[in-house]
């Protein structure tokens, strides 16, 4: 069932419409649990598109095992997806800085408010993001420490590699997830992959996790795969950041999610004109590389990667 979440008129007799797909058991019962899968808030983050497809495919293939409601929102920012733009085109606005929105506000605020209203009341929301075009992220869930107790048990079942609990001061109150969590609708934020691309391996991994969560919630009684046990970090000192010391072209030498020792070479920054190596990017600590530079052109200070210190997962 395809339903309209919210819509607003555009110039030249056009309409911006945000849609969802609702999948329900053939026998609908009052009080059934509901899970909502949301993606496309940023138009250049496409990893969630595959997850929406694959989740719907699996459910339809064994619809007799569905015991609750699954709402799939593949394109919360359809104009951004159509134009390969992170924000809302023409308005130069980041949709994920406009929540909870305002029904009496301008067009963008009205749309944001309609999204929050439609998703609110779900038993669980999965808000899927990718990284930007510059960095690749391993499948991870990021949680505001204010909602640690409620959300970490869900995150443990989501089949991600890493759960990163942030300090409250680092989480913007204008995001979609914060707006939902602060009003009683649990929402997990997933970051994985790279901007403008689909990493099928990560999509399948997360889809397995969503199916497992559906089983735990009583929405699915079919077969599910046991979720991997994620590393959980609550200490801001657990994460070490790598920044470029000079401008140039970054040539990666290690694999993503690889365990490194202090001093191991992660890659080189080279000058293609002179043929010289300008700098060797080395691991500053013992740890696992969970973020790595994807776009090779770097400027001085550019983020090259993030490492999770060994103390965080070997304790």
* CATH number belonging to domain 236-313: 2.40.50.100
Per-residue model confidence as pLDDT tens digits over 212-237:
999 999 999 999 999 999 999 999 99
What pLDDT was estimated at residue 171? 61
What pLDDT was estimated at residue 315? 63
Alpha-carbon distance values, 296 to 176, 188, 275 (Å): 31, 30, 16
pLDDT band per the 50, 70, 90 thresholds, residue 170: low
pLDDT band per the 50, 70, 90 thresholds, residue 288: very high
- Whether 236-313 and 2-233 are alike in CATH topology: the answer is no
Mean pLDDT confidence for 53-59: 98
What CATH architecture applies to the domain 2-233? 3-Layer(aba) Sandwich (3.40)
Helix axes 200-217, 47-61, angle to 10 degrees: 50
Distance CA 66, CA 224 (A): 12
Q: What is the mean pLDDT of the chain?
A: 95
At 100, is the secondary structure helix, strand, or coil?
A: coil
Enter the tokens of residue 152.
């970490």
Residue 13 has pLDDT above 90, yes or no: no
Residue 273 has pLDDT above 70, yes or no: yes
Q: pLDDT above 90 covers what percent of the chain?
A: 91
What pLDDT was estimated at residue 169? 61
What is the domain partition of the chain in residue ranges?
2-233, 236-313
Residue 207 has pLDDT above 70, yes or no: yes
Distance CA 168, CA 148 (A): 10
Mean pLDDT confidence for 61-82: 97
Contacts of 29 (CB under 8 A, 6+ apart): none
Per-residue model confidence as pLDDT tens digits over 105-133:
999 999 999 999 999 999 999 999 999 99
Per-residue model confidence as pLDDT tens digits over 254-268:
999 999 999 999 999
């Amino acid at each position: 069932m395809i339903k309209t979440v919210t819509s607003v008129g555009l110039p030249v007799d056009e309409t911006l419409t945000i849609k969802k797909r609702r999948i329900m058991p053939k026998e609908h019962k009052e009080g059934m649990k509901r899970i909502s899968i949301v993606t496309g808030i940023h138009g250049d983050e496409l990893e969630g598109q595959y997850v929406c497809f694959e989740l719907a495919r699996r459910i339809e293939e064994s619809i007799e095992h569905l015991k609750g409601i699954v709402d799939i929102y593949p394109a919360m920012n359809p104009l951004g997806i159509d134009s390969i733009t992170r924000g809302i085109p023409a308005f130069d606005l980041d949709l994920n800085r406009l929540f909870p929105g305002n029904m009496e506000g301008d067009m963008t605020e009205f749309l944001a408010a309609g999204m929050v209203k439609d998703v609110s009341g779900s038993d669980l929301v999965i808000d899927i993001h990718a990284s930007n075009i510059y960095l690749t992220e391993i499948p991870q869930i990021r949680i505001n420490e204010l909602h640690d107790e409620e959300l970490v048990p869900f995150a443990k079942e989501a089949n991600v590699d890493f759960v990163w609990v942030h300090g409250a001061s680092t989480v913007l109150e204008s995001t979609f997830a914060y707006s939902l969590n602060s009003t009683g609708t649990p929402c997990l934020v997933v970051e994985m992959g790279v901007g403008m691309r689909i990493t099928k391996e990560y999509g399948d991994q997360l889809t397995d996790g969503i199916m497992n969560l559906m089983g735990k919630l009583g929405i699915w009684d079919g077969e599910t795969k046991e979720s991997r046990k994620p590393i959980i970090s609550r200490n801001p000192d657990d994460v070490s950041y790598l920044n470029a010391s000079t401008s140039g072209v970054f040539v990666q030498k290690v694999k993503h999610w690889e365990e490194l020792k202090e001093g191991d070479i992660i890659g080189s920054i080279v000058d293609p004109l002179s043929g010289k190596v300008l700098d060797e990017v080395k691991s500053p600590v013992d740890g696992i590389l969970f973020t790595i530079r994807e776009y090779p052109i770097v400027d001085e200070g550019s983020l090259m990667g993030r490492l999770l210190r060994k103390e965080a997962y070997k304790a």
